[in-house]
Amino acid sequence: MKKNHFLTRATLLILLTLLLAGNKTWAQVPTDSIVADFRYFVKLLEERHPDPYSGYGGKPYFRKAASDARNALLKDKVTDVREFAYRINEFLAPLKDGHTVAMPDGPYVPGHFPIQYTDPATLIILEAINDGIIVKALPDEYKDLVGSRLVAIENVAVNDLANDMAKHFIAENEIGRMMNLAHYAIQPKALRKVIPTLGDATITYQLKTPKGKKAEVTLPVVPFNQVLQFQAQSVRPSSFPAKQFSYDFLGLLQYGFADEGNNTMYFHVAHMIARDLLEYDKEHGYDCSGMLQGIYSIAGMPVPENEDFAIAMIPSLSEEFEKMLQLMKQNSSKNLIIDLRGNGGGNTNIVYPLLYQLYGDRYLKECYQEDKGFYLLTPKTMSKASLEQINATNEYKLEYGDYLDLSEVNYQEISIEKKRENFIDGSMCSIKDKLRAQNGQPVYSPEHVYVVTDPLTFSAAFHFSHHLWKMGATIAGVTSSQAPNTFMANQSFYLPRTGLTGDICSLIQICFPDDDPRAKQFTPDLMPSYEEYKRYNFDDNAPILYLLDIIKKKK
């Protein structure tokens, strides 16, 4: 079968890290310009965000926090724009909004996890799992400690550090706080926010080994280029398909999984950016150049001069997914595993055709246009024409500054045939002709659909997993750092004096009732514990191996 040539997970990690570490060079600017831009940012936040106040305890406390942050910029005489971006994100931490951020490294890149502090750091890789943080890699002299649990840093307990770190780094839920700690625990500059006495030369980690023994390792702080080299060398080849939108049956010996009759298919999605999105944007007159530059930069390739050719070279999610389902249909395969680990999102609209390919009209009847939440209407987030369109179908006439309750949007009662036609015509899909040919039927609906997530499964990737779950799929792996009830629909901002860019959300998304435990942290149906990771020798694909064993037991 065809497997596209774009982006393995390992390549994505290495190139993205290298790209972001030096993606933008900032000049120093006067502190008064920094302060002026901060004031302007606070003004934008109040104008555009659906609820900038509650996270701070109300409007007076929000204004007090903004005043304190502004005064700190003056006191510290901040002139570095990257440092200014970090200060904005620290100010935003109480919002618990992973989409309202300043981006010190420039515009959004697929799978982006902001690299803050490209200063000296230690050579250790940590990973947040469902029940703690584990050591993924260490220098060779400490390799017997790989797989250990992180207990404390400089004798400060992990839970205390994670909770304190939430005051400085944006996190939407508990696993997000743990992920932040795992990410920033290597960097003295970041770690000093929660351990003020930490020095610059070393960091000491307290561990519990897989055999249950206490251990301690003190690592020297080294230049960041050595850290990048260590991280790149620590990426292990995957035995599973790793390229963007690649797929394969898992009944082959190299996967160590006896699966007669090609019953189990694996589909890998690294990020939610595809040709479908670029073709849609170009068709509707949007500028594709920035997104193309980001995609090709991550892949380590120059952007072809001919834009149409550059877009055509990028794989289509709907096309590859349809091919994969056709192959499953030919083999009457029972199980589909969709791997969304490490998928930081992109655009949710490209996943809707996939849900139709899987479920046909059942998706349109049961799940499509069932979003709930409150959308802040502003001139930035919508055009006057859009506002008029909303008012044409609503009993109450709305103005800028009002909230649109998505559950009360008057979607006209139309036949399923008309609903299907409207859905396909407006879809972000490279193969609309094939969607039409389905005529309401799925391409193929396997008996079981499994979705594998981790803390980095975010934004559009989380939306895909949630829609699949609503349609009956089983979620497996580690909890997403995206809160189901959160802020969404981010719109870009630009600060004129510093040139800093970022996003501000305009929607409150509601997936569950507020009193539901899953409202802030969606718990997967199948969650491998530390003991399962140990059983699979802390393999990078331990969640997949764990899931395959469950599938075998079902058989």
Distances 295 to 119, 277, 458 between C-alpha atoms, Å: 26, 12, 18
Q: Could you give the dihedral angle defined by the CA atoms of residues 377, 378, 380 and 382, in that order, rounded to the nearest 10 degrees?
A: 40
For β-strands 149-153 and 202-208, DSSP reports them as antiparallel
Segments in the chain below pLDDT 50? 1-22, 108-115, 253
Q: How many residues does the chain have?
A: 555
Q: What angle do the packed helices 317-331 and 275-283 form, to 10 degrees? A: 140
Quick one: which of 117, 62, 170 has its CA closest to 70?
62
**Which residues are CB-neighbours of 330 under 8 A, at least 6 positions away?**
none
φ, ψ (nearest 5 deg) of residue 432: -60, -30
- Which tokens belong to 18? 């290298």
Gyration radius of the chain's alpha carbons: 24
Structural tokens at position 200: 């610059």
* Residues forming beta bridges with residue 487, ordered by sequence position: 508
Residue 66, judged by CB atoms within 10 A of its CB (0-12, 13-18, 19+), counts as buried
Whether 183 and 113 have beta carbons less than 8 Å apart is answered as yes
CB of 478 closer than 8 Å to CB of 504: no
Amino acid residing at 416 = I
Q: Which residue has the tokens 């993606």?
A: 23
Start-to-end CA distance of the chain, whole Å, equals 27
Q: Which two tokens stand for residue 286?
A: 């949007």
Q: Which residues contact 511 (CB under 8 A, 6 or more apart)?
A: 372, 466, 484, 485, 518, 519, 522
Q: How far is Cα 197 from Cα 122, in angstroms, rounded to an integer?
A: 17
pTM of the model: 0.91
Closest CA to 233 of 4, 24, 17, 23: 17
> d(Cα 497, Cα 504) in Å, to the nearest integer?
18
- Cα 349 from chain centroid (whole Å): 15
Evaluate whether 450 touches 474 at the Cβ level (below 8 Å): yes
Q: Residue 178 is encoded by which pair of tokens?
A: 């743990």
CA-based nearest residue to 217, from 225, 208, 227:
208
- pLDDT at res. 238: 78
- What pLDDT score does 141 carry? 96
Is residue 246 within 8 A of residue 139, CB to CB? The reply is no
Residue pair 209/148 in contact (Cβ under 8 Å)? The answer is yes
- The gap from C-alpha 114 to its chain's centroid, in whole angstroms, comes to 11
Pairing between β-strand 448-453 and β-strand 335-339 as defined by DSSP bridges? parallel
Residues 6 or more apart in contact with residue 440 via CB below 8 angstroms: 360, 361, 416, 417, 420
Q: Are strands 264-268 and 335-339 parallel, antiparallel or unpaired?
A: parallel
Model pLDDT, residue 14 = 39
Lookup result for tokens 């718990």: 523
Residue 276 makes CB contacts below 8 A (sequence gap 6+) with 316, 317, 318, 350, 353, 428, 429, 430
Quick one: pLDDT at residue 164? 95
Which residues touch 143 (CB under 8 Å, ≥6 apart)? none
d(CA 74, CA 441): 62
Contact 445, 359 (CB under 8 A): yes
